A and B are shown apart, each in its own frame.
Chain A
Amino acid sequence: MLDKELRSMIGQVKDGRMDRRAFIKRMAAVGLTAPLANQILALGGVAMAEGASTYKPTKRGGGGALKLLWWQGPTLLNPHFATGTKDQDGSRLFYEPLACWDPDGNMKLVLATEIPSIQNGLLAADGKSVTWKLKPGVKWHDGKPFTADDLVFTWQYAKDPATAAVTIGVYRDITVEKIDDLTVKITFPKPTPFWADAFVGAGAGQILPKHLFADYIGSKSREAPANLAPVGTGPYKFVEFKPGDLIRGVINPDYHMANRPYFDSLEMKGGGDAVSAARAVIQTGEYDFGWNIQVEDDVLLRLEKGGKGKTVYAVGGDTEFIALNFTDPNVEVDGERSSMKTKHPLFSDPVVRKALSLLVDRESVKKAIYGRAGRTTANFLNGPEKFVSKNTSWEFNIEKAAKMLEDGGWKAGADGIREKDGKKLKIVYQTSINGPRQKTQAIVKQACQKAGIEVELKSVVASVFFSSDVANPDTYPKFYADIEMFQIPLSQPDPSQHMRRYLSTSVATKENKWQGTNFPRWVNKDYDAAITAADMEMDPIKRAAYYIKANDLMWQDTVFIPVQHRLKVEAAANNLVCVISGWANETDNLFDWYREG
């Protein structure tokens, strides 16, 4: 779509000559989805549409008990200490943010009254500040009023390094000031195109009550009694918590949203594994909802036959990928393997990287493993839609790969393995131990063998692979292998954090104790320029173009071989209407859940 045409359309919407829906339809016609259109409108000066609600019940309560099954049960209930989404999910039953994301990636108001936009004056045109108006009359579960002080406090609490909050990254560089009891202004140090991070969503956005945490800021943070007994503003009030096992809540009769919530009580049971969780929801109906059902699709299809439940999918931006190592994992320079002073002996030839990409059969992986929960893709960046490149393509073609290698001088040796200049096409392929990943490994290995590449498979237990343990050689940031496969979740409907990881300045090395996020150790000036520009760009169209360019650069250089765009999979009782967003936690839209019939 032409920049000019788009701008004129935005102008038309602004002047009221085109209605919003028509605009979104036109955008959809050129391959862009509603969330994209919405956000483009918002940043183009037209207010972002509020996520439409599908909630039907006409009175509060009366829905009985809601039984949730989380096979990894929440272990703590302070969202700012959350290690992993399970803890965010558990806290989110009680605490709330100003806004959250609906299934389409639209913003949905929770504790705020209005979505900030340039038009309504709440969002500064230079992108350096945003003002939020809070809902009046909201009360904490203990009856104390919810005010701007609570937001200012949450910011102070999270940004204090001594508190050791995991949300510090969101809060430490911003300033939050109270304008009046129901207004706060957030100031950013530089133009911030994605301003909806602090106080939004379940990840970092949950707001704490000042009156209960004020004495436990900083080094005393662990001692707060409210860490284990949350007092929030949410639809359910806290009753009981047993870490890893059980959370119980009852309806909040003073909840600030009309007719909500529907259920009279809720229970979140933890423990077990995904398969039996799917069974308890879909087959036996013992539970209403099962979280994160990472189970092979044919198992789910079998359970669904005549069962009491169904699977629910949500599209987000998670990509299962194979990363290529641009440095040599087998040579040690100054006591460091995969050192920036080396080049990968095989992958320094782009032909090998391209051939490898041709050997990954995304369609078979989808069919054999992910089923309805996966989509084939050529892109590293798969969402939100407006940032997804349409310039890329993928292909599975063993003959073509073999020919490319042959033409590139990689000739088959006596053992059938190709070699060039004495270097054999032998690679080590590592990933974390996980059923679908081991199956994918086998599929890729088979194709590689046919093309004359020998692949040694390696699998590392997840707790080691994903750790930051400097002493362990098998972690993914150290990347002491030729290729490795996993996914990095895209935790918000914006790619900035995600794409910033691969800047040349972020290479993981011994010097930074492998805390750098650029683990393929790929260096590209054009990529750096695109990402840096996108970070400051307030024009949404140009900004999207930068990310698309960045993604295309990765595709051209074959830094990642995207295997599958993964969807979130949940299990739900047939009569449960659950609102799940690929851009939010499962419990983020809980206030909109109800039972039908």
Chain B
Amino acid sequence: MSQYVLRRLLIAIPSLLGISAVLFFVLALAPGDPFSELATNPNVPPEVQAALRAKFGLDDPIYLRYLHWLNAMLHGDWGFSFVSRMDVDKLILQRLPTTLYVIGSAQILALLIAIPVGVYAATKPYSLFDQVANTLAFVGFSLPTFFTGILFILIFSVTLDWLPFVYTTDIKGTGIHWGLEMIRQAIMPVAVLGLFQAASMTRFVRSAMLDVIRLDYVTTARAKGLGQAKVIVKHVMRNAMIPVVTLIALQMPAVFGGAIVTEQIFRIPGIGSLLISSILSNDTPVVMAVTFVFACLVVLFNLIADILYGWLDPRISFR
């Protein structure tokens, strides 16, 4: 087992290297530079812009810049943001808790909805419940988060004035009051993101369950006189979860991506909005670091999925 994990981690190294190289070269070839805003500022002579570019190594050849970056990364130095001149790791660490809180909550919400609804819908296919759940799921994943986000704001902030629509990391107060405020301001973004995730996941859970529920061994189990609940939970769900785990694991990085939009709408200072603003200002070191973190997440969650397979179905062994 540990040998397997180790081997998988070693295999990840070349993939991450490849990803980083592609990212870096694409970014370097993309137009624009971090000091573009200075171009229309009459106080800033062109020489200064040139000096800044030179100082930050933007005029070096791409491969040299990549090697510098890689070398620094290997030494644990993530570089510094051109735009805020702050160390990138600090910048990311400042935002990570918020992202984890909001996205983690959204993901848990999605699972809490999708698994029971999907499982129940599959046990009673084409029933009224199944049809309603299906319809809602279709509506849910057809509506993009930027739409539902604005809709929620208009309903719950503007019209009803129940919830704040600007997320702030700086809530006054302590203890229970602080906790309640944190929950209150997260309700809308978590709901928007969670419901969107839940919609597609419900469909997936349902179809995975349906695939398994028709297999002979399930009929056998039933014929043995096992109760419906036991059959579903012990026999069907466990097997149906394998593709679901794959989906969730592979979706995790995409969830971070999908959160970019949600983070913009609600002004959540998470990694997603950091990525967006860095891309807009051509802040290469930050974009590199954030995308690289995403790449690492992909690799990590794949590994977690693989390990979960073994637990769900012992026939899948680690070799």
Interchain CB contact under 8 A, B43 and A489? no
| Given A227-B85, A248-B170, A280-B165, CB of A515 within 8 Å of CB of B48 | no
Interchain CB contact under 8 A, B33 and A467? yes
Question: Considering the complex, which residues of chain A in the window 263-304 have a beta carbon less than 8 Å from any beta carbon of chain B?
Answer: 267, 269-273, 276, 279-280, 283-284, 286-287
Interchain CB contact under 8 A, B43 and A276? no
The segment from B34-42, B198-206, B221-229 that touches chain A is B34-42
Interchain CB contact under 8 A, A491 and B43? yes
Asked if B307 lies at the interface with its beta carbon under 8 angstroms from chain A, I say no
Minimal Cβ-Cβ distance residue in B for A508:
B46
| Given A466-B36, A467-B36, CB of A245 within 8 Å of CB of B31 | no
Asked if A83 lies at the interface with its beta carbon under 8 angstroms from chain B, I say yes
Interchain CB contact under 8 A, B31 and A471? yes
> A168–B44 Cα gap in the complex (Å)?
7
> A14–B254 Cα gap in the complex (Å)?
72
Q: Which residues of A contact B277 (CB under 8 A)?
A: 75, 244, 271
Q: Which of A464, A497, A512 contacts B31 (CB 8 A)?
A: A464
| Given A168-B48, A279-B158, CB of A469 within 8 Å of CB of B42 | no
Asked if A53 lies at the interface with its beta carbon under 8 angstroms from chain B, I say no
Interchain CB contact under 8 A, B33 and A246? no
> A81–B164 Cα gap in the complex (Å)?
34
Q: Which residues of B contact A222 (CB under 8 A)?
A: 80, 85
The segment from B8-16, B121-129, B209-217, B267-275 that touches chain A is B267-275
Interchain CB contact under 8 A, B267 and A272? yes
The segment from B18-26, B50-58, B103-111 that touches chain A is B50-58
Q: Which of A161, A273, A466 contacts B40 (CB 8 A)?
A: A466
B62 to chain A, nearest CB (A): 12
Asked if A151 lies at the interface with its beta carbon under 8 angstroms from chain B, I say no
> A242–B274 Cα gap in the complex (Å)?
11
> A84–B40 Cα gap in the complex (Å)?
9
Q: Which of A272, A279, A463 contacts B281 (CB 8 A)?
A: A463
A124 to chain B, nearest CB (A): 24
Interchain CB contact under 8 A, B38 and A83? yes
Q: Which residues of A contact B35 (CB under 8 A)?
A: 83, 468
Question: Considering the complex, which residues of chain B in the window 78-99 have a beta carbon less than 8 Å from any beta carbon of chain A?
Answer: 80-81, 83-86, 91, 94-95
B177 to chain A, nearest CB (A): 16
Interchain CB contact under 8 A, B40 and A488? yes
| Given A164-B48, A164-B55, A269-B267, CB of A81 within 8 Å of CB of B85 | yes
Interchain CB contact under 8 A, A168 and B45? yes
Minimal Cβ-Cβ distance residue in A for B277:
A244
Q: Which residues of A contact B38 (CB under 8 A)?
A: 83, 166, 468
Minimal Cβ-Cβ distance residue in B for A271:
B267
| Given A84-B37, A271-B267, CB of A244 within 8 Å of CB of B274 | yes
Q: Which residues of B contact A167 (CB under 8 A)?
A: 43
Interchain CB contact under 8 A, A244 and B33? no
Minimal Cβ-Cβ distance residue in A for B264:
A272
> A472–B52 Cα gap in the complex (Å)?
19
Asked if B207 lies at the interface with its beta carbon under 8 angstroms from chain A, I say no
> A240–B269 Cα gap in the complex (Å)?
15
Q: Which of B39, B55, B158, B281 contacts A468 (CB 8 A)?
A: B39
A274 to chain B, nearest CB (A): 12
> A532–B251 Cα gap in the complex (Å)?
63
A387 to chain B, nearest CB (A): 15
> A82–B181 Cα gap in the complex (Å)?
34
Interchain CB contact under 8 A, A164 and B51? yes
Asked if B168 lies at the interface with its beta carbon under 8 angstroms from chain A, I say yes
Interchain CB contact under 8 A, B32 and A464? yes
Asked if B135 lies at the interface with its beta carbon under 8 angstroms from chain A, I say no
A87 to chain B, nearest CB (A): 9
A127 to chain B, nearest CB (A): 20
Asked if B169 lies at the interface with its beta carbon under 8 angstroms from chain A, I say yes
> A471–B31 Cα gap in the complex (Å)?
8
> A71–B20 Cα gap in the complex (Å)?
31
Asked if A501 lies at the interface with its beta carbon under 8 angstroms from chain B, I say yes
B267 to chain A, nearest CB (A): 4
A interface bracket (residues with beta carbon within 8 Å of B): 35 or more
| Given A75-B84, A283-B158, A287-B166, CB of A463 within 8 Å of CB of B50 | no
Interchain CB contact under 8 A, B45 and A169? yes
Interchain CB contact under 8 A, A242 and B48? no
Asked if B60 lies at the interface with its beta carbon under 8 angstroms from chain A, I say no
**Prevailing SS type, chain A contact patch:** loop
B78 to chain A, nearest CB (A): 14
Q: Which of B41, B85, B157, B161 contacts A491 (CB 8 A)?
A: B41
Total count of chain B residues near the partner, CB < 8 A: 52
Minimal Cβ-Cβ distance residue in A for B274:
A244
Asked if B284 lies at the interface with its beta carbon under 8 angstroms from chain A, I say no
> A164–B245 Cα gap in the complex (Å)?
51
Minimal Cβ-Cβ distance residue in A for B270:
A245
Interchain CB contact under 8 A, A491 and B44? no
> A170–B42 Cα gap in the complex (Å)?
10
Contact code string A440-475 (vs B, CB < 8 Å = 1, else 0) = 000000000000000000000001101111011011
Interchain CB contact under 8 A, B264 and A271? yes
Q: Which residues of B contact A271 (CB under 8 A)?
A: 264, 267, 269, 273, 277
Interchain CB contact under 8 A, B170 and A267? yes
Question: Considering the complex, which residues of chain A in the window 380-436 have a beta carbon less than 8 Å from any beta carbon of chain B?
Answer: none
B29 to chain A, nearest CB (A): 9
Question: Considering the complex, which residues of chain A in the window 153-183 have a beta carbon less than 8 Å from any beta carbon of chain B?
Answer: 161, 164-170
Question: Considering the complex, which residues of chain B in the window 116-145 have a beta carbon less than 8 Å from any beta carbon of chain A?
Answer: none
Interchain CB contact under 8 A, A203 and B31? no
Minimal Cβ-Cβ distance residue in B for A283:
B158
Minimal Cβ-Cβ distance residue in B for A86:
B37
Q: Which residues of A contact B55 (CB under 8 A)?
A: 164
Q: Which of B43, B161, B265 contacts A169 (CB 8 A)?
A: B43
Q: Which residues of B contact A486 (CB under 8 A)?
A: 40
| Given A469-B36, A472-B32, CB of A166 within 8 Å of CB of B85 | no
Contact code string B67-80 (vs A, CB < 8 Å = 1, else 0) = 00000000000001
> A477–B166 Cα gap in the complex (Å)?
38
Interchain CB contact under 8 A, A169 and B83? no
Asked if B302 lies at the interface with its beta carbon under 8 angstroms from chain A, I say no
Contact code string A482-520 (vs B, CB < 8 Å = 1, else 0) = 000010110100000110010000000000110101000
Q: Which residues of B contact A497 (CB under 8 A)?
A: 42-43
Minimal Cβ-Cβ distance residue in A for B150:
A276
Q: Which of A245, A267, A488 is the most central at the interface, judged by chain B CB atoms within 10 Å of its CB?
A: A245
> A504–B154 Cα gap in the complex (Å)?
53
Interchain CB contact under 8 A, B83 and A76? yes
A478 to chain B, nearest CB (A): 12
> A184–B163 Cα gap in the complex (Å)?
53
Asked if B180 lies at the interface with its beta carbon under 8 angstroms from chain A, I say no
| Given A271-B269, A283-B158, CB of A468 within 8 Å of CB of B43 | no
Which residue numbers of A lie inside 8 Å of B, CB to CB?
Answer: 65, 69, 75-76, 78, 81, 83-84, 161, 164-170, 203-204, 222, 227-228, 240, 242-246, 248, 267, 269-273, 276, 279-280, 283-284, 286-287, 463-464, 466-469, 471-472, 474-475, 477, 486, 488-489, 491, 497-498, 501, 512-513, 515, 517
Which residue numbers of B lie inside 8 Å of A, CB to CB?
Answer: 31-46, 48-52, 55, 80-81, 83-86, 91, 94-95, 153, 157-158, 161, 164-166, 168-170, 172, 264-265, 267, 269, 273-274, 277, 280-282
A selection of 12 A-B contacts at a CB cut-off of 8 Å is: A76-B83, A245-B169, A269-B166, A276-B265, A279-B165, A463-B280, A472-B32, A474-B31, A488-B42, A491-B42, A491-B43, A517-B42
Question: Across chains A and B, which 9 residue pairs bring their CB atoms closest together, nearest first?
Answer: A515-B46, A467-B36, A245-B269, A243-B84, A497-B42, A75-B84, A84-B37, A271-B267, A463-B32
* Extra contacts besides A271-B267, A468-B36 (8): CB < 8 Å: A168-B48, A227-B85, A242-B269, A246-B169, A271-B273, A491-B41, A497-B43, A498-B42
